[in-house]
Amino acid sequence: QVRVEQSGGGLVQPGGSLRLSCEVSGSISSFYSVGWHRQPPGNERELVAVMTSGGVITYGDSVKGRFTIWREDAKNTMVLQMNSLKSADTAVYYCFAKSDVWSIASWGQGTQVTVSS
């Protein structure tokens, strides 16, 4: 089984920053894709960012230019750095990892991020 363990989250003021981490079992560099989705209250789940095999990164339009992801291979961890946070970024954030293109993704437990003054 692939285990996905998230850490981070919490309350932050608009304009602030927050960092989330996602540790996966196994060698993270061998995964087909690792990334993040989020679900705002009363809205549908949307892509935040994903890194696919080969190191190609795709960001969702709503976070482009403000959020960054990178791998820490020695720790089998994907980091999500969130800057210039807005109220609209308030959501439950979920990390996911997909071993192969034909595999079902494994998901983290989710963590609440609240942006409010």
Determine the Cα–Cα distance for residues 49 and 57; give it in Å rounded to an integer.
7
Using one digit for the tens of pLDDT, what is the confidence trace for 11-53? 999 999 999 999 999 999 999 999 999 999 999 999 999 999 8
Q: Cα separations (Å) of 4 from 15, 32, 64, 116? A: 29, 14, 24, 28
Return the pLDDT at 88.
97
Q: Return the SS3 of 36.
A: strand
The answer on pLDDT for 54 being more than 90 is no
Q: What local confidence, expressed as pLDDT, does residue 95 receive? A: 98
Strand ranges (DSSP E) for the chain?
4-8, 10-12, 18-24, 33-39, 46-52, 56-59, 67-72, 77-82, 91-98, 106-107, 111-115
- pLDDT of 68 reads 98
Q: What's the confidence (pLDDT) of residue 69? A: 98
Per-residue pLDDT, 53:
87
